[in-house]
Amino acid sequence: MKIHEYQARELLQAYGVPVPPGQVARSGREAAVIAGEIGLPVVIKAQVLVGGRGKAGGVRIARTAREAREAAEQILALTIKDIPVEAVLVAGAVDILKEYYLGATVDRATKKVVCIVSAAGGVDIEELAVKEPEKILKHYIDPLRGPDDGELREFLSAAFAKELLDQAAEALGNLYRLLIEKDCSLVEINPYAQIGDGTLIAADAKINFDDNGLPKHPDVEALRSAEEYSPEEIEAREAGLSFVSLDGDIGCIVNGAGLAMATMDLIKLFGGRPANFLDVGGSSSPRKVLTALRILTRNQSLKAILINIFGGITRCDDIAKGILIAREQIDLPVPLVIRLIGTNEKEGRALLEQAGLEAASEMTGAVRKVLERAKVGR
C-alpha cells in the first residue's frame, strides 16, 4: 500500500526525522490560509501516489499568499499520470544547498533490509540507477542484530561530510526502525536536503507498506486512500474476495488461492490469458459469487468466464445459488463455463440443472471448453 507524502512526512516526524512544517489543502483558499500560518515562502505539492510530480508541474514555490492560492488552484486542476490531483501539501519552503537521497527497502534476494544513500539526490533514483549506478551506495543490515550507529556512520561517510554524519546516521537509524516497526516495504527521502543553517531535512517523503503486514497496523490501514485501488479491487476487498486484475480476457472465479493459480496456469498452457485472479475464499456465500460476477462483467475485454470450484468448506450448492441469483440480477455478456466438484456437489448440480445449466466435473476439460467458448465469442 502506498500513502501520500503529507501522511508519510507525519510518520517520519513521529520517528524523529526532521521535516519542514506543512499541512494538506484541498482548495486554493485553504492553501493560502495554511501558507499564512506556517510562514512564507511555501512549496505547494500535488498529492498523488506517483513520482515525478516536479517534472509534471506539480511542485511550485509561492512567495505570497496570493501566489500560494494560485499555485494550489493550478496544481489542483492537473492530472498527473492519469491521476487527478485532489489535494496539495503546503509546506515551508527551504533553501536547499545540496540534495541527497536516503532510503531503506527490503531486498528479497539477500532477505535483508538494504539502506540506500546518494549524494546525487533530488533526481529520479530509478534513472540514476541506470545511468550512474556508481553514485548509489548500498549497505545491507543484519536482520538479527539490526544496525548500530557505528556501521551506519561508516556507510554514510562515503556520501556526507563529517559535520553532517550525526544527523544522517540518526535519520537512517530512524528510517530502519520505522520500516521494521510498521512493516514498510520502502521508506524513501528524496531529496534529503541540506539547508542553509547546516541541518538535514526531509523535503519529500515516500513510504510503501507490505500489504501482508497491514492487519497488524490499523493506524496505517486508516491512511489508505481511495486512489490506491481500482473501484473493482475496493468492491472485491469489501466483499471478502481476493481479486487482482490482469490483462487477459478469460474471467476466473475460483475457490482457494492454489486452485486459482492452477486455473490460471492451465488457461495459459492452452494458449489463453486470464483476465483476473479471483479467490472467493473458503466459506463462500451465494452473495460472494454474485459480487464476483458483477465485478468481472464490468471488464470490457472479457470474452468468457470460468467458475472453477473444488468444494471443501465451500459448498457447491452455495456456489450454484450464487450463480442463479447472478443470472437473474445481471445480464451476463459472455459465455459461462462451470466446473463443480466436492461438498454438496449433487445438490449444486441439481440446482443448476433445473435452470438449464450444466457443470463439468473435471478441470482440464472445463478450461479447454472456456477457451473454445471465448473464441466463438459473445
Contacts of ligand GDP in 85-114 (CB under 6 A): 93-94, 96, 99
Nearest to 190 by CA among 24, 25, 5: 5
Closer of 75 and 336 to Mn ion (Cβ): 75
Which span sits near Mn ion by CB under 5 A: 7-15, 63-71, 104-112, 187-195? 187-195
C-alpha cell at 189: 527521502
Rounded Cα gap, residues 116 and 104, in angstroms? 6
The neighbour count for residue 352, using CB atoms within 10 Å, is 21
- Per CB under 6 A, 311 contacts ligand GDP: no
Which span sits near ligand GDP by CB under 6 A: 49-57, 152-160, 166-174, 306-314? 49-57
- Per CB under 6 A, 122 contacts ligand GDP: yes
> Catalytic residue numbers?
101, 188
DSSP conformational letter for 122: S
Burial 116-145 (b: 16+ CB within 10 A, else e): bbbebbbbebeebeeeeeebbeebebeeee
Residue from 4, 9, 53, 321 in contact with ligand GDP (CB under 6 A): 53
Q: Which residues contact 194 (CB under 8 A, 6 or more apart)?
A: 96, 97, 98, 99, 100, 164, 200
93 binds, among Mn ion, ligand GDP, none (CB under 5 to 8 A by kind): ligand GDP
- Per CB under 6 A, 43 contacts ligand GDP: yes
Burial 288-325 (b: 16+ CB within 10 A, else e): bbbbbbbbbbebeebbbbbbbbbbeebbbbbbbbbbbe
Number of residues near ligand GDP (by CB under 6 A): 16
59 binds, among ligand GDP, Mn ion, none (CB under 5 to 8 A by kind): ligand GDP
- Per CB under 5 A, 190 contacts Mn ion: yes
Rounded Cα gap, residues 163 and 51, in angstroms? 31
Contacts of ligand GDP in 196-215 (CB under 6 A): 203-204
Residue from 51, 213, 240, 281 in contact with ligand GDP (CB under 6 A): 51
- Per CB under 6 A, 22 contacts ligand GDP: no
**Secondary structure class of 30 (helix, strand, coil):** helix
Binding mask 164-203 for ligand GDP (x = CB under 6 A): --------------------------xx-----------x
Chain center to CA of 118: 25
Residue from 54, 213, 240, 335 in contact with ligand GDP (CB under 6 A): 54
Closer of 22 and 286 to ligand GDP (Cβ): 22
- Based on the number of CB atoms within 10 Å of its own CB, is 150 exposed (0-12), middle (13-18) or buried (19 or more)? exposed
203 binds, among Mn ion, ligand GDP, none (CB under 5 to 8 A by kind): ligand GDP
Closer of 38 and 246 to ligand GDP (Cβ): 38
Rounded Cα gap, residues 323 and 77, in angstroms? 44
- Per CB under 5 A, 204 contacts Mn ion: yes
Residue from 2, 4, 45, 69 in contact with ligand GDP (CB under 6 A): 45
Closer of 60 and 182 to ligand GDP (Cβ): 60
- Please spell the DSSP secondary structure of 317-348, one letter per residue: HHHHHHHHHHHHHS---S-EEEEEEETTHHHH
Closer of 68 and 93 to ligand GDP (Cβ): 93
Beta carbons of 89 and 67 less than 8 angstroms apart: no
Closer of 204 and 279 to Mn ion (Cβ): 204
Q: Nearest approach, Cβ of 132 to ligand GDP (angstroms)?
A: 17
187: left (phi over 0), alpha (psi -120 to 50) or beta: beta
Beta carbons of 85 and 46 less than 8 angstroms apart: yes
Which span sits near ligand GDP by CB under 6 A: 50-58, 268-276, 328-336, 341-349? 50-58
Number of helices followed by number of strands (H, E) in the chain = 13, 17
- Per CB under 6 A, 75 contacts ligand GDP: no
Binding footprint of ligand GDP on the chain (CB under 6 A) = 43, 45, 51-54, 59, 93-94, 96, 99, 122, 190-191, 203-204
